[in-house]
Amino acid sequence: MGSGQLARMFALEAIPNGYEVFVYSPDSHSPAGGVGAKEFVSEYDDKEALLSFLKSIDALTFEFENIPETALSIIEEFEKESNLIVRPSPNCIRIAQNRWKEKSSFREAKIPTVNFYPIFTDQDKNETPSKVSYPCILKTNTMGYDGKGQVKCKSKEELISTLSTLQEFNHIVEEFFPFTSEASVIIARFQDGTISHFRPSLNIHKNHILDLTFHPGNFSPNIEKNLVDFAKKLAEEIDYVGVFGIEFFIKGDEILCNEFAPRPHNSGHFTQDGGSLSQFSLQLRTLCNLPSPKEIPVRAVTMKNILGEDYKPGSKLWNQTLENPHYHLHLYGKTEARKGRKMGHWNYSGPNPESAFKDWE
């Protein structure tokens, strides 16, 4: 489901392994279509089109979580009546697309997270401002990503005034956590419960969008172990089968889980040039029950995203970078370079990975 860059990179793994890849989304000339995936172009809630897609495939996975409930229900029903394999389960997608359900799952799995409060009713709207510590962040409960749909409020008055402008409930309020670093773990869980994972990475965001990933993140052994244990706990708690990326805030010894994405994650793109398996290979392996190594050694890699405003093929910097064999360019086949749009990424896997993109602006 979906035909963007994550579907493209999945197809680039699956097709050379002998699989045919079909992608379903409302977009034609998509990033995945550009590398040989067959496109089914229709709205997600078009039942007839979705059923004809489901009938033509053997296994289904997702490249994004904001799939409408209508489509998830159709998939769930079809799965019950057929041999279609669906990984991860629609239920895991429902958890990931809803911040309230997501953070409640963290709580149930005893994974520490920020304090969060619902804004689902008039009563919540009236009572929450007195319960929260400030600053806090008001977030849309669904359809939020890369900081979209978020308002930071420094005081009770500011939260009350922001809440009074809301067109609909379906929000949550989170307390702001003054983290010193952000980390993520890419993990794969197979149907038999076996888990493979990469070491945690350190992530740097710019304007709420991932800018750089340093792998491995050079955390203390204790922090590293806790990050991986939390990722495993979540996978087991929600009976997840497939690959996910999970993000954390860190301050000293304190770790709070922010969110997880039920699919390969932008901060896992370092795996493509780490000299070993990529996260997309694990997505394929978990989907198709293929064997997998328990340990996945990866050399140090630094990943930098290329957003629309940084998309400058032919520039001096771009050409100098291509002359260095340690930089690997991945482009997503998007023609329109809008500001903030993810166009591709660089992976650097040579000496001194910490300074690979130091003087870039």
148 is in an annotated binding site: yes
Choice between 86 and 261, CB closer to ligand AMP: 261
Q: Does 111 bind ligand AMP (CB under 6 A)?
A: no
Among positions 47, 55, 208, 338, the unique one binding ligand AMP when judged by CB under 6 A: 208
Contact set for ligand AMP, span 126-145 (CB under 6 A):
137, 144-145
Positive or negative CA dihedral for 34, 35, 38, 40? negative
Least Å distance, CB 7 to ligand AMP, is 21
Annotated binding residue at 324?
no
Q: How far is the CB of 339 from ligand AMP (least distance, A)?
A: 17
Is 176 one of the binding residues for ligand AMP (CB under 6 A)? yes
Task: Give the Cα separation of 348 and 356 in Å (integer).
Answer: 7
Question: According to CB under 6 A, which one of 78, 134, 169, 177 is a site residue for ligand AMP?
Answer: 177
Choosing from 38, 94, 205, 233, the residue that interacts with ligand AMP (CB under 6 A) is 205
145 annotated among ligand-binding-site residues: yes
Tell me the site size for ligand AMP, rule CB under 6 A.
Answer: 13
Q: Look at the block and give the residue holding tokens 């172990």.
A: 225
Among 259, 326, 328, 333, binds ligand AMP (CB under 6 A): 259
Helix (H, G, I), strand (E, B) or coil at 270: helix
Calpha distance 238→159 (Å, rounded): 33
Per CB under 6 A, the list member of 55, 82, 107, 147 interacting with ligand AMP is 147
Q: Which span sits near ligand AMP by CB under 6 A: 162-170, 174-182, 229-237, 290-298?
A: 174-182
- Residues whose CB falls within 8 Å of the CB of residue 266, separated by 6 or more in sequence, listed in order: 210, 213, 245, 305, 342, 345
Closest listed residue to residue 68, CA positions, set 16, 142, 119: 142
157 annotated ligand binder: no
Q: Is 266 in the site for ligand AMP (CB under 6 A)?
A: no
The region of 65-73, 103-111, 172-180, 339-347 touching ligand AMP under the rule CB under 6 A is 172-180
Site string for ligand AMP, 33-62 (x = CB under 6 A): ------------------------------
DSSP state, residue 40: E
Token digits of residue 93: 């997608």
**Pure H helices in 259-304:** 279-287
Phi, psi of 195 (to 5 degrees): -120, 135
Q: At its nearest, how many Å lie between ligand AMP and the CB of residue 179?
A: 6
How does DSSP assign 179-235, residue by residue?
A: -SEEEEEEEEE-TTS-EEEPPPEEEEEETTEEEEEEES----HHHHHHHHHHHHHHH
Alpha helices in the chain (DSSP H): 5-14, 47-55, 69-81, 90-96, 99-108, 122-131, 156-164, 221-237, 279-287, 316-322
Q: Quick check: 211 binds ligand AMP (CB under 6 A)?
A: no
Site for ligand AMP contains 65 (CB under 6 A): no
**Contact at 8 Å (CB) between 349 and 273?**
yes
The C-alpha atoms of residue 80 and residue 68 are separated, in whole angstroms, by 19
Binding-site annotation: residue ranges: 99, 139, 144-150, 182, 205, 258-259
* Positions in the binding site for ligand AMP (CB under 6 A): 114, 137, 144-145, 147, 174, 176-177, 182, 205, 208, 258-259
What are the binding residues for ATP?
99, 139, 144-150, 182, 205, 258-259
